Structure 1
Amino acid sequence: MYPNLLMKRARLTPNRIALRFQEKEWTFAQLYNDALEFAEKLHAKNIQPGMRIAVLASSSPELVFVLHGCMQLGCELVMLNERLTEEELSYQLNDSNSDFLLVDSHEKRNLEFVKKFSFGDVQAGKRNVFEIENEWSKNRTITIMYTSGTTGNPKGVRQSLENHVMSATGSALNLGVQPNDCWLCTMPLFHISGFSILMRSVLYGMTVNLHTKFDAEQAIKEILNGFVTQMSVVAVTLERIITVLEEKNLTFPSSFQTMLVGGGPVPLNYLERAIERNIPVLQTYGMTETSSQTTTLSSEDAIRKLGSAGKPLFFAEVRIDGKDKIGEICIKGPHVTKGYIGAAESKNPLVDGWLHTGDVGYIDEEGYLYVVDRRSDLMISGGENIYPAEVEQALVKHSAVKEAGVVGRQHDKWGQVPVAFVVLKDKVSEEELKEFMKNVIAPYKQPVDYYFVDQLPRNASNKLLRRELLKYLNEN
């Protein structure tokens, strides 16, 4: 058993600042009171402990109150990605068998869901007192986040209380915890990278400076003010911060301690420029199934171990499965999910206690992990994972498309962007396909270019050979 996290934190440091948004601040005592009020109003809407609540909203203080309120009521949170289309969101709502849907605004989305409330609907209601649990089971599911599999079918990942607590604890043992710590959160809260910051906040007693979206100039301003000590970014947003600092000839103060970078390796050029601007870059490797970080590379090793994702955090174990030096990355530890929900529920993510990631890499003689391939076909665009099979399945929904193959092309700004190879059965233009895809799949997953071909390269088992498509791209 673990204590009720927010209740415990509010008792330990009630007057410490928990949340800061623009010019407003909330102490941990105020955060707990606001969360409890929302929980009681949810209960008045006949939402019971143990129910599964889907949440679709932009990052805001209200969303923080909602998430903590749902946790106080003992509900499971299904975190929906705002960037997805209605079709994708509907799939996740149905697959998760959510009991209710909470949205920050009815006007934002036209989702058809019978039991749907806006934050305002709940806030306008009455309170219905219920018995708050002082202790929470470590096996209790806190969040469910969807991540696409290599088959293109999104999988709902269960993240337990133990997963979140041990992830935060492992990070604390690596980075250290100080009373004046403040994490600048520009990552969306529906991502594990954003939600994990909220979990660290209540466990560490740490302030979160919350932003609705990333703005390089605003982020730099807060760091230069000396309040912010940590921040999480992807390579694309790191480069934007560096560029602004260079344009203004500024460097970060010594009060800023950590820039965690996930979503793929950081180019050497970025690292060298970051050092010039006194940005302590720590590269990381993790995934939704591991509730954030598994390995982290220290800033002093960033150049010496270029391309490495670092060493495992204290409670994590990493090994390479395979006869050769390079093989599949496998992860073990209390931060690793115990399973999925919905269509993927029967799939056991663990083999003898190890999560087989599907990523390929190696560990050098000093114990540093190198990720060679992010799941053989995976693309990472601006820190977002894009699986070719998911885009291909969206394309073949068009009546004129017979087959489709999708690969990633290198892009200076985004890292990679998807490109589609299409076999047609009826006439259709590239413009028509692009218009069609706007309503089927999220904008960042849509192919930037289309190649119309007579056939796709396949092996004897009729499996698509994406490496041949990549070869074509590289030659043209």
Structure 2
Amino acid sequence: MSWESIPQMVLSAADRFGDAEAVVDGDLRLSFTELAARIRQAAGAFAEAGIDTGDRVALWAPNSAEWIITAFGLLTAGGVLVPVNTRFKAEEAGDIIGRSGAKAVVVEQGFLGTDYTGVTDVPMIDLKSGFLDSGQPLERRVAGTEIADIIFTSGTTGRPKGVMMNHQQTLRLYTEWCDLADLREGDRYLIVNPFFHIFGYKAGLVASLIRGATILPVRVFDADTVMDIVERERVTMLPGPPTLYHSLLEAKSTRDLSSLRAAVTGSADIPVELIRRIAEELPFQSIMTGYGLSEAGTVTASRPGDSFEQIATTVGSPCAGVEVSIADDGEVLVRGYSVMLGYLDDPDATAAAIGHDGWLRTGDLGELDPDGRLRIVGRKKDMFIVGGFNAYPAEIEGFLLEHPAVAQAAVVGVPDERLGQVGRAYVVVKAEITEDELITWSRDRMAGFKVPRSVRFLDALPLNATGKVIKDQLR
């Protein structure tokens, strides 16, 4: 890897891939040469707006070509990117913009009906205002050890914290990711994962520009829209959550999905049957599953040759230069070059997360199989104790998903006078079933302490923008 910084890598794509398509966003088509020119112009616009090396700028907008030009234009001007979750309400976003110390915030006015005015006192730039094209082309030299981005955690476990990473960490890790995920030059990569999240931004945009893949952004996930783009644009690379692949399986008889080659998914618990069906009923030639977190990027990934069961029930083996260990209480620990530099302006939280020996506490519970593959059991915070026995929601949810009437399930611990805590299941169904029927069915399949004592039926589980269930809302 010869690049020192992310902008150096991004701009070099013009020399490496030239007139090949870099971005297809609706009617807009940009070659790698054109994208690099637009990024240099945006860098000039930021510099002329007073953004200097090391200054932070927040970006609060959906997946689009403009998001790509804004982010890499800012980095090319020497700035630090602070992506903001598009699902956040004004108060949540204002908190992150304020705490990040952003000198400006770039928004797309009106997205999902949001009016961004009055959210913050920080100067606001509208993506659609012509700002990105207003600057004289510029490229500032950026050191690889400088902070590239501050990505705030999803907030499923309390107040979001700003994770700081430098350019070299991202370039090294996602160069390897390209190999693990079988991303190739000329691939057409449909990115449904939000760009404000490390999957969409780093395993999506950065990886595509490393490899020379065409980026096809999806603004808001909708299964029919995804199928339309797959057919029209001959998409080859399609990562996403398990629900995406369920949609593909349902549509396979009515849609032309023949171009699809590489799948990437990840979840604490994926049914083995789903992985088998993806491999046997869809055109995919490779399926990767993995585990990562904002604080360390991609930590583990499955490898070519892994069985359906290994891909479904583990999250693979550690990436090169990354160590994984399991603490005495079952918590997954990670150490290596990709671990964050720390949380922004929060030395206490940083010290609590990273021990003096360099091990990052992930907050996830797991175990290693004899070959060193990691299995995620659940969140440490989600575990509850029933009469002295540790109960892991992810395991119980896996059992519940085996019931033919259950489409989605989330389990939390609730207070109980006799046992301390017991499980409560929140369930979205696809066929009629009563609370008593599901509890009785569960008793035949899991130890008594794991069986939910109550069931609440919902139309939908509360999810954050990356598809994780927000269990604090259920509690």
Distance 2:60 2:411 in 1: 26
Tell whether the 8 Å contact from 2:180 to 2:288 is kept in structure 1 after alignment: no
For 2:342, which of 330, 339, 347 is the aligned residue?
339
Which position in structure 2 is the counterpart of 1:372? 377
Distance 1:469 1:188 in 2: 30
Cα deviation per residue 1:342-386 (whole Å; 9 max; x = unaligned)?
34675233221221212111111122111111333189xxxxxxx
Shift of 1:36: 1.4
SS state at 1:342 partner? coil
Which position in structure 2 is the counterpart of 1:384? none
* Counterpart amino acid of residue 474 in structure 1: P
For 2:159, which of 139, 153, 166 is the aligned residue?
153
* Counterpart amino acid of residue 361 in structure 2: H
Q: Which runs of 5+ in 1 are unaligned?
A: 380-387, 389-406, 422-455
Tell whether the 8 Å contact from 2:289 to 2:312 is kept in structure 1 after alignment: no
Tell whether the 8 Å contact from 1:159 to 1:337 is kept in structure 2 after alignment: yes
Residues 160, 457 of structure 1: alpha-carbon distance in 2 compared, 3 angstrom cutoff: farther
Q: Write out aligned runs for 1:172-321 (5 A).
A: 172-196=178-202, 197-224=204-231, 227-245=234-252, 248=254, 252-253=257-258, 256-278=260-282, 279=284, 280-296=286-302, 298=304, 300-304=306-310, 306-321=312-327
Residues 409, 90 of structure 1: alpha-carbon distance in 2 compared, 3 angstrom cutoff: farther
Which position in structure 2 is the counterpart of 1:10? 14
Tell whether the 8 Å contact from 2:241 to 2:265 is kept in structure 1 after alignment: yes
SS state at 1:373 partner? strand
Distance 2:347 2:451 in 1: 34
Q: Write out aligned runs for 1:64-75 (5 A).
A: 64-75=68-79
Residues 376, 66 of structure 1: alpha-carbon distance in 2 compared, 3 angstrom cutoff: same
Shift of 1:175: 3.5
Count of matched residue positions in the alignment of Structure 1 and Structure 2: 404
Distance 1:237 1:274 in 2: 11
Tell whether the 8 Å contact from 2:270 to 2:313 is kept in structure 1 after alignment: yes
Which position in structure 2 is the counterpart of 1:116? 124
Q: Which moved more, 1:285-294 or 1:144-153?
A: 144-153
Q: Write out aligned runs for 1:313-462 (5 A).
A: 313-322=319-328, 327-343=330-346, 347-348=350-351, 349-351=353-355, 352-377=357-382, 415-417=408-410, 456=415
TM-score (norm 2): 0.75
Distance 1:252 1:358 in 2: 38
Which position in structure 2 is the counterpart of 1:80? 84
SS state at 1:309 partner? coil
Shift of 1:27: 1.1
Residues 2, 110 of structure 1: alpha-carbon distance in 2 compared, 3 angstrom cutoff: same
TM-score (norm 1): 0.75
Shift of 1:99: 1.5
* Counterpart amino acid of residue 245 in structure 2: L
For 1:474, which of 440, 444, 452 is the aligned residue?
452
Distance 1:260 1:59 in 2: 19
Residues 101, 224 of structure 1: alpha-carbon distance in 2 compared, 3 angstrom cutoff: closer
Tell whether the 8 Å contact from 1:156 to 1:344 is kept in structure 2 after alignment: no
Residues 129, 309 of structure 1: alpha-carbon distance in 2 compared, 3 angstrom cutoff: closer
Distance 2:33 2:149 in 1: 23
* Counterpart amino acid of residue 80 in structure 2: E
Which position in structure 1 is the counterpart of 2:174? 168
Shift of 1:76: 0.8
Cα deviation per residue 1:118-147 (whole Å; 9 max; x = unaligned)?
1234528853565x234x322222221111
Distance 1:65 1:285 in 2: 28
Tell whether the 8 Å contact from 1:282 to 1:299 is kept in structure 2 after alignment: no
Tell whether the 8 Å contact from 2:412 to 2:423 is kept in structure 1 after alignment: no
Tell whether the 8 Å contact from 2:269 to 2:398 is kept in structure 1 after alignment: no
Cα deviation per residue 1:13-39 (whole Å; 9 max; x = unaligned)?
222221112343211111111111122
* Counterpart amino acid of residue 337 in structure 2: P
Residues 10, 205 of structure 1: alpha-carbon distance in 2 compared, 3 angstrom cutoff: same
Tell whether the 8 Å contact from 2:223 to 2:244 is kept in structure 1 after alignment: yes
Over 6 Å off, 4+ runs: 407-414, 418-421, 470-473
Alignment partner of 1:39 is 2:43: yes
Distance 2:364 2:331 in 1: 6
Residues 366, 213 of structure 1: alpha-carbon distance in 2 compared, 3 angstrom cutoff: same
Shift of 1:2: 0.5
Q: Which moved more, 1:35-44 or 1:172-181?
A: 172-181
Shift of 1:173: 3.2
Residues 292, 467 of structure 1: alpha-carbon distance in 2 compared, 3 angstrom cutoff: farther
Which position in structure 2 is the counterpart of 1:452? none
Percent sequence identity over aligned pairs: 22
Distance 1:232 1:413 in 2: 24
Shift of 1:170: 1.8
SS state at 1:11 partner? helix
For 1:49, which of 37, 50, 53 is the aligned residue?
53
Tell whether the 8 Å contact from 2:41 to 2:134 is kept in structure 1 after alignment: no
Cα deviation per residue 1:288-328 (whole Å; 9 max; x = unaligned)?
11224533355742235641111122332212222xxx721
* Counterpart amino acid of residue 55 in structure 1: L
Distance 1:368 1:99 in 2: 43
Residues 304, 377 of structure 1: alpha-carbon distance in 2 compared, 3 angstrom cutoff: closer
